[in-house]
Amino acid sequence: MAGLSDAPFIEALAVPAVCALIAFLSYFTQYVFHADPDLLPGPPSRAETVVFNTLLLCLWISYFRAVTVDPGRYVFEEQVLDASDSDSGRRWCKKCQAPKPPRAHHCRHCRRCIPKMDHHCPWTRNCVSMTTFPHFLRFLLYANLSLWTLGHLLWQRFLALWHARHMPSHLGPSLFGLVGLSASALTWSVTSLLLGLMLFGTLKSWALNRTSIEELEQDRHEANFRNGARDWWDLTGPDGERLQLEHVEFPYDVGFFANMAQAMGTSNVLLWFFPLAGNPRVSKSRTGPGWTWEENGFNRKEGMWPPVNPEKLRRSQREMGVSRRDYERELEDYGLSTEEQVEAFRRRQAEDFRRRNRNLMAELEEVDVYRQEGDRASDDEGSLFGWTHAGSDSLADYGVDEDAEEEDEDVPLSELLRRRRGNGIYFDE
């Protein structure tokens, strides 16, 4: 279903279509069961009716909350940040012009950074995030339970038809009953398959405390690390030193029960499946939920996620005609006289010219190698910086604004000074 959110007509009709599907499978089928007395074994019993409609009520409540609950937002009341904001200072959103806390991503549909963004769901017109995940999980759970109950009722009637297959047709169900039963069964089979797969993936994400976006990031990192010794030898840092790709373990898997309790906002198991239960909320304090996340300590230090993307570094270093800015040099030159600023500018211009020449020579020398590796290092801008998941999914397919994921190279000097006044926490280590 990746990319469905980009179709305007899908976005407009998604929620009404889901409501119509629920109504068809739940109430039309019950009408068919009651409307045709010859459709054996007859109308569902009182117990079956109560159980089925109770599950439907839970389904409607969960879906309503998955659609209407706000996916969360970050509020920055202060203009200058201090050193206590170091966790959020490692990442910066160019679209929000604000720090991007860990596990947050900028959604191009919601147009803001979403805490613990999993994906933007076209069928709820909402992001599955830190605040909406419990409702989305309950929606999928009750949808599948309702479908399984309906499947049992449909199976009873198809089994009765099979046993009466030798009877004269005029003694059996009416044409309306047969058509309604067949249409319900066909719709049920397709919906059960799709929602069953969605529930399995969501339960896996719940238990591992790993979002769909982080799954892509982990797969990309593992693929880069397996090929690191051969493919990334040509990358150098700002100081000219060769960069080494370090393996990073996923840090947010803190244990089976702790993962689930964190996602549901409570350790009370009974509330996990209660449709009217609450959800986690983004803390107003920058050290609370949504801003910082517990880590398992498997890496040499905290804050190493997401891992470095070598393809992103290669693209930035091989960009023709565009030089990377030296923020430290610009800050050092700030406040100089006009003549001194002109001289500093010319000095940087000469250094940029020499650097572009070196990159050009490296490009010419290695062009054949990179073209042969084209399947891995694609020029497609919409594929997670040249890499796609085994299922051909990319960050954009999950609603992430990839432009906001790139390193910000166009920060105004005034913004650099504001960040420096905040103890320089926004510069990468």
The tens digit of pLDDT for each residue in 97-148 reads 888 899 999 999 899 999 999 999 989 999 999 999 999 999 999 999 999 9
pLDDT of 314 strictly over 90: no
pLDDT in tens, 43-67: 999 999 999 999 999 999 999 999 9
Q: What is the pLDDT of residue 66?
A: 97
The more confidently predicted of residues 223 and 8 is 223
pTM recorded for the entire structure: 0.75
CA proximity to 203, closest of 109, 118, 315, 303: 118
Domain edges within the chain: 8-72+81-208
How wide is the angle at C-alpha 281 spanned by C-alphas 275 and 284, nearest 5°? 160
pLDDT at 379 over 70: no
3-state secondary structure of 145: helix
Distances from the Cα of 286 to the Cα of 72, 81, 188, 281, 423, angstroms:
14, 11, 46, 13, 17
List CB contacts of 80: < 8 A, sequence separation 6 or more. Answer: 418, 421, 422
Q: Is the pLDDT of residue 17 over 60?
A: yes
The mean pLDDT value of the chain amounts to 78
User: Is residue 121 annotated as part of the catalytic site, yes or no?
Assistant: yes
Q: Can you give the pLDDT at residue 96? A: 86
| Percent of the chain's residues with pLDDT above 90 | 44
Taking 70 as the threshold, does the pLDDT of residue 410 lie above it? Answer: no
User: How far apart (Å, rounded) are the C-alpha atoms in residues 383 and 11?
Assistant: 22
How much is the CA Rg of the chain, to the nearest whole Å? 28
What's the pLDDT band for 350 if we cut at 50, 70, 90?
Answer: confident
Average of per-residue pLDDT across 67-71: 96
Residues forming beta bridges with residue 251, ordered by sequence position: none
User: Is pLDDT at 222 greater than 90 in this prediction?
Assistant: no
Residue 5 pLDDT greater than 80, yes or no: no
Residue 252 CA to residue 259 CA, distance in Å, equals 8
Does residue 16 have a cis bond before it (omega within 30 degrees)?
A: no
DSSP symbol at 174: -
pLDDT tops 80 at residue 215:
yes
Q: State residue 336's pLDDT score.
A: 64
Mean pLDDT in residue range 314-323? 53
DSSP 302: S
For residue 219, what are its two tokens?
Answer: 């797969």
- Tens of pLDDT, residues 351-362: 776 766 665 555
**Mean pLDDT across the stretch 275-295?**
91
- The Cα–Cα gap between 153 and 52 comes to 10
* pLDDT of 373: 41
Do you know the residue count of the chain?
A: 429
pLDDT above 50 for 275: yes
Residue linked to tokens 């000074």: 417
Query: What spatial distance separates the first Cα and last Cα of the chain, rounded to whole Å?
Result: 38
> Distance between CA atoms of 240 and 147, rounded to whole angstroms?
60
Supply angle C-alpha 190, 196, 199, rounded to 5: 145
User: One of 58, 96, 107, 121 is an active-site residue; which one?
Assistant: 121
Q: Is 120 helix (H, G, I), strand (E, B) or coil?
A: strand
Distances (CA, A) of 425 to 82, 194, 249, 294: 8, 45, 24, 20
- The pLDDT score that the predictor gives to residue 200 is 96
Predicted confidence (pLDDT) per residue in 160-210, tens digit:
888 877 777 667 788 898 999 999 999 999 999 999 999 999 999 999 999
The predicted model gives 296-322 an average pLDDT of 74
The pLDDT of 219-248, averaged and rounded, is 68
Q: Kindly indicate the confidence band of residue 393, based on its pLDDT and cuts at 50, 70 and 90.
A: low
2 neighbors 397 (Cβ within 8 angstroms):
yes
pLDDT: which is higher, 93 or 280: 280
Angle at 134 between CA 133 and CA 138, to 5 degrees: 115
